[in-house]
Amino acid sequence: SGSPRRFTLFVVLGMATCLLSAYVSSFFMGRHQCSAVTTAIEIAPVCEEILKLLPLLLYFLIFEPDSHKLTPAAIGIAVGFATFENVCYLIQNGADRFSFIFFRGFGTGAMHVLCGLIVGGGLAYTWQRTWLKIAGTCGLLGAAITLHAIYNLLIAYGGAAQYVAYALPVLLVAAGRLSTFRLSRKQ
C-alpha cells in the first residue's frame, strides 16, 4: 500500500528536479556565456545528476530506509526526470518524426534510469560501510555524470552517433536486467 505511493512521490520529485535542473543549467549557461551544445555536454549532466541525487540523499538521511528501498526510489526519481524532460522536448520540438521521438524517448529514459541504478544501487552498498560513504557517493556521482556527458556528447554529434547513444543505455539496462535474472535463477 505505501510502496506505490512512495514510488509516485519519487516520480513527482524527479519531475520537480527536472524543472529545477533546467533553471540551474540555464543560469550557468548565461553566467558563463556557453552555447546550448556546450551546456548540454558540460553543464547539464553535472546539474542533473547532482540534483537527482539530492532527494535520494535526503530520503536516505532523514528516513533511514532499508537499503533495498533506495534503488526503487532512485528509479522513481529517474523515471520522473526522464518523463518530464521528454515531454518538454516534445512540446519544444514537436512530434513530426515519430521514429525519432520514439528512439529519443526510450534512449533518454533508459539513460536516466541507468544513472539512477548506478547511484541508487551503489548508495545502497556504499552507505552500509562507514569508511566508504563520502568517497563512494562521489565516485558514483562521478560515474553517473560521465555516462550522462558521453550520452549527451554523442547526441550533440548527431548522425549515426546519435542513434548509438539512444541504443546504448537501452542495451545496458537490458543486459543488467538479464544478468540479474540469470543470477537469481542460479541461486
pLDDT of residue 79: 97
Chain segment 53-98, per-residue pLDDT in tens? 999 999 999 999 988 899 999 999 999 999 999 999 888 887 788 8
Taking residues 7-16, what's their average pLDDT? Answer: 97
pLDDT of residue 137: 95
pLDDT of residue 68: 87
| Three cell numbers, residue 15 | 519531475
pLDDT of residue 138: 96
Q: Could you tell me the CA-to-CA distances from 61 to 30, 56, 123 in Å, in that order?
A: 33, 9, 12
pLDDT of residue 2: 63
Chain segment 92-150, per-residue pLDDT in tens? 887 788 878 888 889 999 999 999 999 999 999 998 888 999 999 999 999 999 999 99
pLDDT of residue 95: 76
| pLDDT band (50, 70, 90) for residue 1 | very low
One-letter-per-residue 3-state SS of the chain: CHHHHHHHHHHHHHHHHHHHHHHHHHHHHHHCCCCHHHHHHHHHHHHHHHHHHHHHHHHHHHHCCCHHHHHHHHHHHHHHHHHHHHHHHHHHHCCCCHHHHHHHHHHHHHHHHHHHHHHHHHHHHHCCCHHHHHHHHHHHHHHHHHHHHHHHHHHHHCHHHHHHHHHHHHHHHHHHHHHHHHHHHHC
Taking residues 169-183, what's their average pLDDT? Answer: 88
